[in-house]
């Protein structure tokens, strides 16, 4: 992916010097051509290419010589190999594949947040809180593809003045299980099967569907995971959810239950399944590169932080349990309040040191934010801390540069592997005669736990409302648009077709009939499941706002950061391309010229033409959001129409509901490619305000698209 210009990058970089970036500079080594090579202990190295060997001449034949035996004494060679041997660390048990970026969070001035919490990070609009965010897939290994069908992780670390706050969420608001004790079973079932380590980056296998079929509490989440949400167009176009129920504490010592939401400025958009499959092979790093490209091209992604809150006294006023992570709080019942904004505006300098070594813990909260008795959250609070010890090699992982807070850290925890701090103090315990490292009273900012009244029996028991699993799964299906439902049927059918054990796919089609009769019938028909004769339970007919991703179009339609392919051949119209590129760049889009070869392509007027960024075989339509074919002379049109890859490009873009625009010969080429699909293709006017697509006219930032589109793009031209 490309960078528009060094100038933009510099400007962006100068805006990104948060307190955390300044802190990271202490650990950043600028490697320049004049930096000489040294060993780990700092001794200059004169030869890094040849292992020291016994120097003697071997007479092979006719005076040929060869090297002597290598010597173990070569400490420089040994050090180099030894360091290499230990480069890998265990990947994350889940969410192994990810991409990270730096940025900041700012609370909105005068937001409602201070009614619910005294957490300054959420209420003080004069603060800029540095953040590091890591997005991820869940199932696949570290080297798996980005665009697989999967839940996406959305982990946010806020380096606040009161310590780090980690909001470790997903792009889906609910979870597969209610109780953390089921997490190992769930992960074993979803991960590659134990006997053959298959499949990678997929849930399309017997064990996953076997487990969720026997664990009906997962039904709601499975619906989300089989929806378009699980194939996002970009990390930048996903919602984020804290998922679990946390609590907020205000300065009057009143406690509120809270759910956190991140709302993307660009709206929520997905790939189509066919695109996702193809991109997995064509560019497995698609999302990682997309994040980097947007930030470096001056289109930093933004999210609004919104909260839903419920007062303590209202905890039991809902038909679902508000501590059950398999349930949403419909916004019709609990409104969303927007309280701040997060911007990601800086890529990492080194992937391993920052993204890979970043470690998030749900138990990292700051004063004013706390936990609830959500049984999933309670287990998570143990697990994240624990897992880092294996992954990052000891208890001092919070001292790693990416993890350390920007505020002072002082306590009497000592030693352990990789201790990097030197505590200059003769006492390491409390109380001590020096009053060193004294606890901070709550009134002076010490973390304050809410005094929660609890009466009950200690038991292994699921609360009564935790027993109901299908109401919200039904709510989810009812709330989707027709095209989203069609995609969901296709997703279930794809996945269950990959299960070859009839017990598995028959059981799951029975589960589906508890959710929706039509869904169950369609999927059972496709996969040879159990065809229902009637719905297993009546449909309550309810819908909710915010489930269909079509509810999250961008507030201001924008083409910013969208990738536009311009297909040309020798003899193209240079003015048409220059104007379109200028218009697109001015709107923040990223145009790419694609031609028969990378390099100079001659224009019809014989001027110096244009430089093609890629050749037709080098990229595919799937990697772009829209397509433009400019005018050109007859030779140009003939070359494009005779090229099978170009014809496929247009037809494929059309099939994926992409915006397609053309002028003159370009329209002829589009018509030629689409003749068998749309015999009567008509083009509207094309002027400075409007770009004509195969589906309609896009004017001044408005768009219209085909009925199956899930991914929309607006072209604001002129
Ligand atoms: Fe988890 C990683 C999100 C339930 C145990 N989880 C991890 C990451 C995300 C989530 C985004 C990646 C963090 C990163 O980028 O480093 N997990 C969730 C959500 C859950 C959830 C939204 C449900 C609300 N997780 C969950 C449970 C457990 C875990 C119930 C265990 C009881 N999760 C882990 C873990 C990981 C992890 C094994 C692997 C790497 C890590 O923690 O740091 O401990």
Tell me how far apart the alpha carbons of residues 207 and 153 are, in angstroms, rounded to a whole number.
22
Please give the Cα distance from 119 to 102 (Å, whole number): 22
pLDDT band at 56, cuts 50/70/90?
Answer: low
Task: Give the DSSP letter of residue 270.
Answer: B
- Closest Cα partner for 282 from 594, 655, 621, 593? 621
**Structural Rg of the chain based on CA atoms:** 29
Q: Which of 95, 99, 388 to mutate to test the pocket of ligand 1 (most atoms within 8 A of CB)?
A: 95
CA distance 23 to 29: 13
CB 304 within 8 Å of CB 263: yes
Instruction: Specify the residue for token string 């997995």.
Output: 280
Taking CA atoms only, the protein residue closest to ligand 1 atom 29 is: 380
CA-169 nearest atom, ligand 1: 22
CA-based nearest residue to 564, from 422, 413, 714? 714
The CA 389 to ligand 1 mean position distance, Å, reads: 15
Ligand 1: which atom is nearest the Cα of residue 376? Answer: 30
Q: Is 545 helix (H, G, I), strand (E, B) or coil?
A: coil
**How large is the angle between the packed helices 286-296 and 6-14, nearest 10 degrees?**
80
Q: How confident is the model at residue 693 (pLDDT cuts 50, 70, 90)?
A: very low
CATH number of 466-551: 1.20.1370.20
DSSP helix/strand/coil, 377: helix
DSSP codes joined into one string, 576-631: HHHHHHHHHHHTT-EEEEEESSSEEE-BTT-S--EEESEETTT--GGG-SEEEE--
Closest by CA position to 244, among listed 365, 380, 439: 380
Report residue 197 as tokens. 């380590």
Nearest CA to ligand 1 atom 37: 94
Element (H, E) at 525: helix 517-527
At 709, the pLDDT band (50, 70, 90 cuts) reads very low
The verdict on the CB of residue 94 being under 6 Å from ligand 1 is yes
For ligand 1, say whether the CB of 241 is within 6 Å of any of its atoms. no
pLDDT digits (tens, 9 = 90+) for 411-424: 999 999 999 999 99
* C-beta 182 within 6 A of ligand 1: no
Q: Kind and range of the H or E element at 105?
A: strand 98-107
| 197 CB-near residues (< 8 Å, 6+ apart) | none
User: Comparing C-alpha atoms, which of 37, 140, 139, 134 is closest to residue 351?
Assistant: 134
Q: Which of the four CATH numbers 3.90.1300.10, 2.40.180.10, 1.20.1540.10, 3.90.1150.10 does domain 98-399 have? A: 2.40.180.10
Residue whose Cα lies nearest atom 9 of ligand 1: it is: 153
Q: What pLDDT is attached to residue 624?
A: 94
DSSP 431: S
Residues 138-161 have a mean pLDDT of 98
Residue 99 bridge partners (DSSP): 135
Look at residue 610 in the predicted model and tell me its pLDDT. 95
Q: CB 190: neighbour CB atoms within 10 A?
A: 22
Residue that is written with structure tokens 């698209």 in the block: 705
**Own/partner pairs, 551-557, CB within 8 angstroms, 24+ separation:** 552/239, 552/263, 552/264, 552/267, 552/268, 553/267, 553/712, 554/265, 554/266, 554/267, 555/265, 556/701, 557/701, 557/702, 557/703, 557/714, 557/716
| Amino acid 588: pLDDT | 86
Local confidence band at 9 (pLDDT 50, 70, 90 cut-offs): very low
**Nearest C-alpha to atom 11 of ligand 1 is from which residue?**
153
**CATH topology of 98-399 equal to that of 466-551?**
no
CA 640 – ligand 1 centroid, Å: 49
Residue 251's CB is within 10 A of a number of other CB atoms, namely 10
- Could you tell me what percent of the chain has a pLDDT over 70? 91
Q: What is the pLDDT of residue 684?
A: 53
| Residue 11 scores a pLDDT above 50 | no
- HSE-CB of 304 using CA atoms within 13 angstroms: 16
* CA 667 and chain centroid, separation: 37
Residue keyed to tokens 């287990």: 379
Nearest-angstrom CA–CA distance, 229 and 427: 53
Mean of all residue pLDDT scores within the chain: 90
Quote the pLDDT of residue 657.
81
Confidence band, pLDDT 50/70/90 cuts, at residue 287: very high
Q: Can you give the pLDDT at residue 704?
A: 32
For ligand 1, atom 44, name the residue with the nearest CA.
Answer: 384
Residue 531 has pLDDT above 80, yes or no: yes
Cβ–ligand 1 distance for 383 under 6 Å, the answer yes
Tell which one of 191, 380, 385 to mutate to probe ligand 1, the residue whose CB is within 8 A of the most ligand atoms.
380
Examine the residue annotation and report whether 170 is marked as an active-site residue of this protein.
Answer: yes
Q: What are the domain boundaries of the chain?
A: 98-399, 466-551, 563-699
d(Cα 99, Cα 612) in Å, to the nearest integer? 29
45 CB-near residues (< 8 Å, 6+ apart): 36, 37, 38, 39, 76
Helices (H) and strands (E) counted in the chain, each on its own, are: 19, 19
**Angstrom distance (rounded) from CA 373 to CA 378:** 7
Q: Is the pLDDT of residue 703 over 70?
A: no
Length reported for the chain: 718
Is the whole model's pTM more than 0.90, yes or no? yes
712 pLDDT above the threshold of 60: no
Nearest CA to ligand 1 atom 7: 95
Q: How many CB atoms within 10 Å of residue 7?
A: 9
What's the ipTM? Answer: 0.99
Question: Is pLDDT above 90 for 713?
Answer: no
CATH fold group of domain 563-699: Rossmann fold (3.40.50)
- Report CA(473)–ligand 1 centroid distance (Å): 23
Q: Which of 214-223, 389-398, 699-708 bottoms out in mean pLDDT, i.e. has the lowest?
A: 699-708
Q: Is 231 exposed, middle or buried (0-12, 13-18, 19+ CB in 10 A)?
A: buried
Mean pLDDT along residues 87-106: 98
Residue 244, ligand 1, Cβ within 6 A: yes
pLDDT tens digit string along 359-370? 999 999 999 999
CB 654 within 8 A of CB 677: yes
Q: With 90 as the cut, is the pLDDT of residue 654 above it?
A: no
Q: What is the pLDDT of residues 269-284, one digit of tens each?
A: 999 999 999 999 999 9
Which of 6-10, 147-151, 258-262, 431-435 has the weakest average pLDDT? 6-10
Check pLDDT > 50 for residue 238.
yes
Q: What is residue 700's predicted lDDT score, i.e. its pLDDT?
A: 30
pLDDT at 62 over 80: no
Residue-level pLDDT at 54: 78
Cα-Cα-Cα-Cα dihedral sign, residues 462, 463, 464, 467? negative
Compute the distance from residue 541 Cα to the ligand 1 centre, in Å: 34
- State in Å: Cα 400 to ligand 1 middle: 20
pLDDT for residue 676: 85
Binding-site positions for heme? 384
Catalytic residue among 17, 41, 75, 95: 95
From the candidates 164, 170, 396, 631, which is the catalytic residue?
170
CB-based contacts of 293: which residues, under 8 Å, 6+ apart? 1, 2, 3, 561, 590
Asked if pLDDT for residue 186 goes beyond 70, the answer is yes
φ and ψ of 7, to 5 deg: -60, -45
User: For residues 658 and 652, is the Cβ–Cβ distance under 8 A?
Assistant: no
Q: Which pLDDT tens digit goes with each residue over 564-612?
A: 999 999 999 998 899 888 888 888 889 999 999 999 999 999 877 999 9
Q: What is the mean pLDDT of residues 670-685?
A: 76
Using the mean position of ligand 1's atoms as its centre, give its distance from the Cα of residue 102 in Å. Answer: 20
Q: How does residue 401 score in pLDDT terms, banded at 50, 70 and 90?
A: very high
For residue 384, what pLDDT is reported? 98
Give mean pLDDT, residues 627-633: 92
């Amino acid at each position: 992916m490309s960078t528009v210009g060094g100038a933009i990058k510099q400007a962006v970089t100068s805006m990104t010097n948060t307190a955390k970036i300044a802190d990271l500079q202490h650990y950043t080594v600028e490697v320049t051509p004049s930096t000489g090579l040294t060993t780990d202990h700092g001794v200059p190295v004169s030869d890094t290419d040849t292992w020291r060997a016994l120097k003697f001449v071997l007479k092979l034949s006719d005076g040929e010589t060869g090297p002597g035996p290598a010597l173990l004494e070569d400490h420089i060679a040994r050090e180099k190999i030894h360091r290499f041997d230990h480069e890998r660390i265990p990947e994350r048990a889940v969410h192994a594949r990810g991409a990270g970026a730096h940025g900041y969070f700012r609370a909105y001035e005068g937001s409602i947040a201070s009614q619910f919490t005294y957490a300054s990070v959420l209420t003080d609009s004069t603060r800029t809180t540095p953040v590091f965010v890591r997005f991820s897939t869940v199932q696949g290994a570290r080297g798996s593809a980005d665009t697989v069908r999967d839940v996406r992780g959305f982990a946010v670390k806020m380096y606040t003045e009161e310590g780090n706050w980690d909001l470790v969420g997903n792009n889906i608001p609910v979870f597969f299980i209610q109780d953390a004790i089921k997490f190992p079973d769930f992960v074993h079932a979803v991960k590659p099967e134990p006997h053959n380590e298959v499949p990678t980056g997929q849930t399309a296998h017997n064990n996953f569907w076997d487990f969720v079929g026997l664990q009906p509490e997962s039904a709601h989440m499975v619906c989300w995971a089989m929806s378009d949400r699980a194939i996002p167009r970009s990390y930048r176009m996903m919602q984020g959810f804290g998922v679990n129920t946390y609590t907020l504490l205000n300065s009057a010592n009143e406690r509120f239950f809270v759910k956190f939401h991140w709302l993307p400025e660009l709206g929520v958009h997905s790939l189509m399944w066919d695109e996702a499959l193809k991109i997995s092979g064509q560019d497995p790093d698609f999302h990682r590169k997309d994040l980097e490209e947007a930030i470096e091209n001056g289109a930093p992604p933004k999210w609004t932080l919104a909260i839903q809150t419920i007062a303590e006294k209202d905890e039991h006023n809902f038909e679902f349990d508000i501590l059950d992570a398999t349930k949403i709080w419909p916004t019709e019942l609990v409104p969303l309040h927007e309280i701040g904004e997060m911007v990601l505006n800086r890529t990492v300098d080194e992937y391993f040191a920052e993204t890979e070594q970043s470690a998030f813990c749900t138990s990292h909260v700051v004063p004013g934010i706390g936990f609830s008795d959500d049984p999933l959250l309670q287990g998570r609070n143990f697990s994240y801390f624990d897992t880092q010890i294996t992954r990052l090699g000891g208890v001092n992982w919070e001292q790693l540069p990416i993890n350390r807070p920007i505020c002072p850290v002082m306590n009497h925890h000592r030693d352990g592997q990789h201790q990097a701090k030197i505590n200059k103090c003769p006492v390491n315990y409390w109380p001590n005669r020096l009053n060193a490292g004294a606890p901070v009273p709550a009134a002076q900012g010490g973390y304050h736990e809410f005094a929660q009244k609890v009466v009950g029996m200690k038991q292994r028991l699921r609360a009564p409302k935790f027993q109901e699993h299908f109401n919200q799964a039904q709510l989810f299906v009812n709330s989707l648009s027709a095209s989203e439902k069609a995609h969901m049927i296709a997703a279930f059918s794809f996945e269950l077709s990959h299960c070859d054990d009839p017990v598995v796919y028959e059981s799951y089609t029975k589960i589906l009939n508890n959710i929706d009769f039509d869904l169950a019938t369609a999927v059972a028909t496709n996969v040879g499941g159990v065809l229902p004769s009637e719905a297993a339970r009546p449909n309550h007919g309810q819908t909710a706002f915010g489930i269909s991703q079509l509810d999250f179009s961008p507030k201001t339609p924008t083409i910013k950061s969208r990738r536009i392919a311009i297909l040309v051949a020798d003899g193209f119209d240079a003015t048409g391309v220059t104007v379109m590129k200028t218009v697109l760049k001015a709107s923040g889009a990223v145009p790419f010229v694609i031609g028969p070869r990378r390099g100079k392509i001659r224009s019809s007027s014989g001027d110096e033409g244009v430089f093609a960024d890629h050749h037709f075989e080098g990229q595919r339509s799937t990697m772009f959001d829209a397509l433009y074919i400019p005018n050109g002379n007859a030779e140009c049109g003939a070359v494009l129409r005779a090229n099978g890859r170009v014809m496929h490009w247009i037809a494929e873009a059309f099939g994926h509901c992409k915006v397609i625009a053309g002028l003159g010969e370009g329209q002829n080429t589009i018509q030629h490619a689409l003749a068998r699909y749309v015999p009567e293709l008509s083009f509207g006017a094309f002027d400075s305000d409007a770009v004509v697509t195969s589906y309609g006219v896009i004017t001044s930032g408005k768009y219209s698209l085909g009925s199956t589109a899930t991914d929309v793009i607006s072209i604001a031209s002129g």
